[in-house]
Amino acid sequence: MPLVLTTACGSDTEASVGTAPSASVSYSGTYVPLQGVTSTAALSFSAVKDSPLTTAFVAAFRAQHPDLAEGRSDSTLANEVTHVCLDDLRDPTTRQPRPDGDAAALARIPARFERNGITPGPSTSEEILTLAKTTVCDHVDELAAANADAGG
């Protein structure tokens, strides 16, 4: 069963005088762990960064955090989320999940996503981590398997 990620942007509030509408992003899909896939050691940084998964993250991140996305290229945002997935949540050498991965990611997200003097606070960092996990990080093993099947 293939992984399906969708993003939808729209207003979740009625626009009124003096009030700007806010963006809403939703995700749907099913992640099915693949039998026998236990390591992403062979998965390259660029395979994750250049995947459709990071494209979904970038679109959702821009909608949810326009102030932090302003002036950043899609490639830069894809690079940052790939670091969260492969260097923070996983051991960068073995690519295996780290027991302290969430804590490591939450410690690094403010510096990774700071922009124009705006540093993500704890709740925003949690939102970014959740977004990274749901769009990219939780699907790295499946991406590794697909990459291996394609000879990459």
pLDDT in tens, 85-109: 999 999 988 889 999 999 999 999 9
Residue 7 above 80 pLDDT?
no
Residue where the block lists tokens 């932090």: 68
Residue 18 above 50 pLDDT?
no
Q: Average pLDDT in the 108-118 region?
A: 96
Q: What per-residue string of b and e applies to 110-123 under the rule 16 or more CB within 10 Å gives b? A: eebbeeeeeebeee
Which of the pair, 150 or 113, is modelled with greater confidence?
Answer: 113
Residue 74 above 70 pLDDT?
yes
- Nearest-CA neighbor of 48 among 73, 85, 74? 85
42 membership: H or E segment, kind and range: none
pLDDT at 42 (0 to 100):
62
pLDDT at 5 (0 to 100):
47
Contact in structure between 61 and 131 (CB atoms under 8 Å): yes
Ranges of each domain in the chain: 20-149
Q: How much is the pTM?
A: 0.73
